[in-house]
A and B are shown apart, each in its own frame.
Chain A
Amino acid sequence: MKAVYPGSNPGRRTSKMEQNQNKTTEQEGKSWFDRWYKLLMTIPLAIMVISLIYLGIFFSNHNDFLLKDVSLSGGTTITINAEIDSSALEQQLKSEFPDVVVRKLTDLRTGKTIASVVESSAQPEEFQKSLEQILGYNLTEENSSREITGSTLGQNFYKQLIFALIISFILMSLVIFIMFRTFIPSIAVIFAAFSDIVMPLALLDFLGIKFSVAGIAAFLMLIGYSVDTDILLTTRALRGREGTLNQRIYKAFKTGILMTLTALAAVLPVFIVVTGLPNSFRQIFLILALGLTADIINTWMTNAGIIKWYCDKKGIK
């Protein structure tokens, strides 16, 4: 190996012969990235700033960073295994229970309604009674499902989940620091992971999505899953021995994009092919999908930019 990579720092240098070979093929891409990478970084940074501002406004309006569904705020969810006119039902229930929401679970292939989900923060007894009056039949354990969460418990769950989220973020950060042992590249990875959480959160808040217990758990999973492309990038850029820095970043990009695409390929069918799934399930996948998408720009624009900048400053080529 030493014959191929002469010099005191073999990992960071390429032989003249290889450089000449690469010059013709990579020159165009290389100069393009050299010129534009700082500008590229501003795109995700701008999105990030907008997201943070939006979350700030959201917080001042709602006194929280997200909207909670009944599994976190307390209330009743009744799932009825029947085809019901959901908007009519919602209208009828609204007068008595202003916060009621009715959703439909449909089988996308057949278009058939599997069930209707009715949610409210109301007490289960009166809520079910009104519902039965409107439907005209009794709800039994055969024709319906119920999830009832006490409000204290819901709030307790929420606090714990947020605590778990913070712990898991700190643990992840520790792992990254132990792996790379350099400040700026590690911070770049951690910042990308942070952005992967903030961007989907801001978008979902904007869309008025209510988060469930499983949804917040999905953010924890996102922390774990989104950083692998950042690790790949940082490892290839700092520890790689072949090619120029730009080539290594480009190669990491090719590998990383494929990784994210396969992850999305597993997650996306929930929204296009198979729709009749428990709500907890759908929300996990929705958050993973948004997070992975955000990860593409956060890794390959922000993180790659910071790494490029860092290597330029440190003279790593």
Chain B
Amino acid sequence: MSWRVWVLIFVLILSAISIAPWGYLEKGALIKSVEQNSTAFNEGLRQGMVIRALNSEEVDNMEDYSRIMSSIFPVQNNTKLIIQTKTQEFILYTDEALKITVSNIPKTNIKTGLDLSGGARALVKPVNVSLSSLEISDLIVVTSNRLNVFGISDVTVRKVSDLSGNNFMLVEVAGATPTELKELVAQQGKFEAKIGNETVFIGGKKDITSVCRNDAACARIESCSAIQQGDYACRFSFTVYLSEEAAERHAGVTKDLGVNVTEGGKYLDKKLDLYLDDKLVDSLFISEDLKGRVTTQIAVSGSGVGETQQDALAAAQNSMKKLQTILITGSLPYKLEIVKLDTISPLLGREFTKNIILLALVAFISVSLILFIKYRKLKITLSVILTMFSEVFITLGIATFIKWNLDAPAIAGIIAGMGTGVNDQIVIIDESVSNLSISIKERIKRAFFIIVGAFFTIIAAMLPLFWTGAGLLRGFAFTTIIGVSVGILITRPAFADILRKIQD
């Protein structure tokens, strides 16, 4: 066998390693996300680790993890929890379940795009300003932070730019779409607490040292009640810890206010107005004893409304979480708009995936059939089919290896490539069986002139797609270019050698 055939075999093996369903062999629960600054985070648990055992009880999958966790927690006091991952052991003391999300280990490393696996994709652009690369990077940090604080896992945020030099932020969330996604990514998040016209504090690190979350002692739903027309409203309240500077500002503004005496108690004559993106969220009475005092603890409240009490409760919880998130992460110096928002139901994605696999099979069979009808030689037909298969396989292998998300256009590129990839082999066969007066080497050389020409025209044609449409069509260009490159560099030279062997 020639070295070219060996190269093909070698690359095929590498691709097989890359695609192989190793997930079936591996046991454990994969960590999808770890909440920042939680106990788990501080102890060193990170996304991507695989939990094998909890308190020496084996974890084979996600269900095991949930079962064991709920059997241990809730507890009253801090308990010891031993977490065994693939490589390390973590010991931590906690009184609540870990603030991490886990999933089953994916069966293969092939990554499918959102249009096939389900999820949401938002393309975000600031209104009326164009951002530099640096500003976009800042935006990405704030947005990632927001999504993380809010608790959305499995999300990627990255910069994309297009041919006209526009910079966008692309947010992709796998799996089910959180309903708050739109607000979380598009909201400027400008939080202001005002008394009269004077700003007391704003969201972000400068004025707010910390925000109470997930602790019923200082963040909770206070009351629910029926309001008009059968609607319900629930009020939430949580404590915010102000910086020294903001606390003094509060003292300065309140010290000159008058006092109103009402049935409910004594309050200052102006309220603390909370604005989110210039919209009034809530107005709070300030109790008399806060007048002129430097206080670093302030309760922020608001409400959620719904048709049933349960809806109202959920709405209030969501609003609270959103407000907490924005107070922690601060605001952005510009307004944002979502210019494209796609949410794909995982259900439909599964249906599509099924159909695409079927289509690939049908295309494979019909191409093979035509070749067999034409050549009627099993050896030749088989070697063409094998080459076609190798090209698809290696393309998938490369895509998997570099963790490329295969979306519908990318797979369309692969399938269309199956038919056209065979073209070059047809050229090789027809050149090699024709005109026996020229040496086979010479004939194959001429075949390669045609093939190389066709190769460069495809590259030339697909290249511009890389920079078009905010990169949403990159997958299509990518698989096509990888496919033809694999063809010309690896499979077709090997195929030509095999054919030479058959001819001899």
Contact = CB atoms under 8 A, between A and B. Distances in A.
Contact of A280 (B358, B409, B460): B409
Interface in B303-355: 337-348, 351-352, 355
Nearest to B375: A258
Interface string B173-210: 00011010000000000000000000000000000000
B164 interface: yes
Given A4-B437, A168-B460, A143 B454 contact: no
Given A145-B345, A288-B416, A160 B469 contact: yes
B427 to A, nearest CB: 6
Nearest to A272: B362
Given A152-B339, A259-B426, A266 B351 contact: no
Interface string A166-185: 01110110111001000000
Interface string A258-289: 11011111111110011111101100110010
If over half of B's interface residues share one DSSP class (helix, strand or loop), that class is named, otherwise mixed; here it is helix
A259 to B, nearest CB: 4
Contact of B370 (A223, A261, A276): A261
A273 B362 contact: yes
Contacts of A268: 366
Interface stretch (A39-47, A52-60, A87-95, A225-233): A225-233
A224 interface: yes
B315 to A, nearest CB: 15
Chain A interface bracket (under 10, 10 to 19, 20 to 34, 35 or more): 35 or more
B412 A284 contact: yes
A298 B332 CA distance: 56
Interface in B421-458: 422-424, 426-427, 430, 434-435, 437-438, 442, 446, 449-450, 453-454, 456-458
Contacts of A267: 363, 415-416, 419
Given A79-B348, A142-B347, A254-B430, A269 B461 contact: no
A79 to B, nearest CB: 6
Given A168-B460, A225-B416, A265-B370, A242 B347 contact: no
Contacts of A81: 345, 347-348, 351
A251 interface: yes
Contacts of B424: 228
A300 to B, nearest CB: 15
Nearest to A167: B464
Nearest to B473: A217
Nearest to B341: A148
A159 B165 CA distance: 13
A235 B120 CA distance: 49
B345 A225 contact: no
A277 B461 CA distance: 25
A206 interface: no
A144 interface: yes
If over half of A's interface residues share one DSSP class (helix, strand or loop), that class is named, otherwise mixed; here it is helix
A31 interface: no
Contact of A265 (B166, B347, B369, B456): B369
B458 A225 contact: yes
Contacts of B418: 266
A241 B457 CA distance: 25
Contacts of B489: none
A114 B123 contact: no
A241 B442 CA distance: 11
A258 B426 CA distance: 8
Interface string B149-170: 0000000000000111010000
A156 interface: yes
B408 A262 contact: no
Nearest to B362: A269
Contacts of B423: 228, 259, 262-263
Interface of A: 1, 4, 79, 81, 107, 114-115, 124, 141-150, 152-153, 156-157, 159-161, 163-165, 167-169, 171-172, 174-176, 179, 213-214, 217, 220-221, 223-225, 227-228, 231-232, 235, 239, 241-243, 251, 254-255, 258-259, 261-270, 273-278, 280-281, 284-285, 288
Closest 6 CB pairs of A and B: A266-B419, A224-B461, A224-B458, A171-B460, A164-B464, A228-B454
20 contacts: A4-B437, A79-B345, A79-B348, A124-B341, A145-B343, A149-B340, A163-B163, A164-B467, A168-B461, A175-B453, A213-B473, A220-B465, A221-B461, A251-B434, A262-B420, A263-B422, A266-B420, A267-B419, A269-B359, A273-B358
